[in-house]
Amino acid sequence: MKVCKFGGTSVASAEQIKKVASIIQADPKRKIVVVSAPGKRFDEDIKVTDLLIDLAAASLNKNEAEAELQAVVQRYGDIAKELDLNEEIVQVIEKDLRERLTLNLNQPELFVDQLKASGEDNNAKLIAAYFSSIGLEAEYVSPKEAGLLVSDEPGRARALPEAYENLNSLRDRKGVVVFPGFFGYSKDGVMMTFARGGSDITGSILAAAIHAELYENFTDVDSVFAANPRVVNNPVEIKRMTYREMRELSYAGFSVFHDEALMPAFQYSVPVCIKNTNNPSAPGTMIVAEREYSKSPVIGIAADGGFSTIYVSKYLMNRELGFGRRLLQILEDEEISYEHTPSGIDDLSVIVRSHQLTPEKEARIISRCREELKVDDVYIEHDFAMVVLVGEGMHNTLGLSARATTAISRVGANIEMINQGSSEVSLVFGIHEKDTNNVLKELYNEFFSTTAVLQ
């Protein structure tokens, strides 16, 4: 049995949904179909999830949201019309949205979540109706009925262990199951969404729960590329990579597969294939437990901006018991998670995602470091990027860091930090954000210019 997930662009229009139907019909093993909300049909288009966020905001702030509501209904209406579906399905969707607008008004987080989740929920109902209309035996299954239990964290829920047991019974359903991505229910029956882009996570949970032989993640590219094609001209396609490699790459900007989606597939050893709805016969990229890496120690290079460093120094820091813990406690008190902590004998930098900081938080961190930790120096700097070289073969290839640092120096960029995690699947360079694209291009040339398609 295979679980297939179709992302926003794959279900953005009637034309795309017809392609989805042909893909499902082409392989009887494709039993469970997880769908996103309609995404962008063209570059300047707005995703239905974003329209729903606007709808929630208008309703909460202005108490008047008819125009925003009609914008959402219109999207489904256009799709239904082109798919020759009965007008009734659009009425069901409109009624559902109007109902949601009346619930949890005094709990804004839950209110926003229940509207966001409607994007996938209503799309799954519409797609199931379309499948049935063309004679494909299919049914919409709600995450509540199927038991997709999640933690009580609106906007960033996580699946609970019981969810896997409950969802296993989807195996026994007759016909194709059409399942909405992106949300589940807390034990108290409250709807909670995953992080943005979280339909990938639903697909992975389902694939793990039913012990699928394959999780096919359909998107709008033929494969995962070794570097961002918007920066590097014609990068090579990755044919096969490990879970660890994908995790490292998706950490730093490879948005083709959600980083939280890897865990369920990895834990239950379900191989993942990234495929293209617009070109389903292309083999795609396989994500598996192991690969042969002797010929290609580096599989990809990712780069992501938006990092800040909190730098502290104190003479004899290395001898002070609990210094690191107390510093990290200050960050925890401000609800800031950290990404890297490169350190010297008497100094330590904590690298964090900048969006977690505010001027008020920064001021509190600096004053607590001075007063409680009695540091000699403390400051916060912004506008850093992390460039990550990823590959299973890196740990036993000599001279790789030397090649990378030489390439970075060739474009005149200063390396602010180097971090080779103990897994040695990645080598991270902290640089100034302004140098990101030049560094990425140069590293790509260094490691891939003579390489053919990776195996």
Which residues of the shown chain bind ligand ASP in the complex (CB under 6 A)? 8, 36-37, 47, 49, 119, 181-182, 196-200
CB of residue 47 to ligand ASP, shortest distance in Å = 5
Residue placing its CB nearer to ligand ASP in the complex, 182 or 218: 182
How many other C-beta atoms lie within 10 A of the C-beta of residue 367?
12
Q: Residues 53, 118: contact at Cβ < 8 Å?
A: no
Residue placing its CB nearer to ligand ASP in the complex, 255 or 423: 255
CB of residue 198 to ligand ASP, shortest distance in Å = 5
CB of residue 48 to ligand ASP, shortest distance in Å = 7
Tokens of 13: 């229009």
CB of residue 5 to ligand ASP, shortest distance in Å = 8
C-alpha 413/C-alpha 220 separation (Å) is: 33
To which residue do tokens 């795309």 refer? 16
Residue placing its CB nearer to ligand ASP in the complex, 77 or 203: 203
Tokens of 274: 């990234």
Residue placing its CB nearer to ligand ASP in the complex, 201 or 208: 201
Residue placing its CB nearer to ligand ASP in the complex, 34 or 385: 34
The amino acid at residue 9 is: T
Q: Residues 384, 309: contact at Cβ < 8 Å?
A: yes
Closest listed residue to residue 2, CA positions, set 203, 278, 283, 294: 203
The amino acid at residue 37 is: A
CB of residue 49 to ligand ASP, shortest distance in Å = 4
To which residue do tokens 């964290």 refer? 153
Residue placing its CB nearer to ligand ASP in the complex, 182 or 447: 182
CB of residue 405 to ligand ASP, shortest distance in Å = 37
Residue placing its CB nearer to ligand ASP in the complex, 38 or 391: 38
Pairing of strands 426-432, 377-390: antiparallel
CB of residue 257 to ligand ASP, shortest distance in Å = 11
CB of residue 259 to ligand ASP, shortest distance in Å = 13
DSSP output for 406-437: HHHHHTTPPP-EEEE-TT-SEEEEEEEGGGHH
Residue placing its CB nearer to ligand ASP in the complex, 90 or 261: 261
Any residues with CB less than 8 A from the CB of 371 and at least 6 apart, and which? none
Tokens of 355: 């969006």
Pairing of strands 237-238, 183-185: unpaired
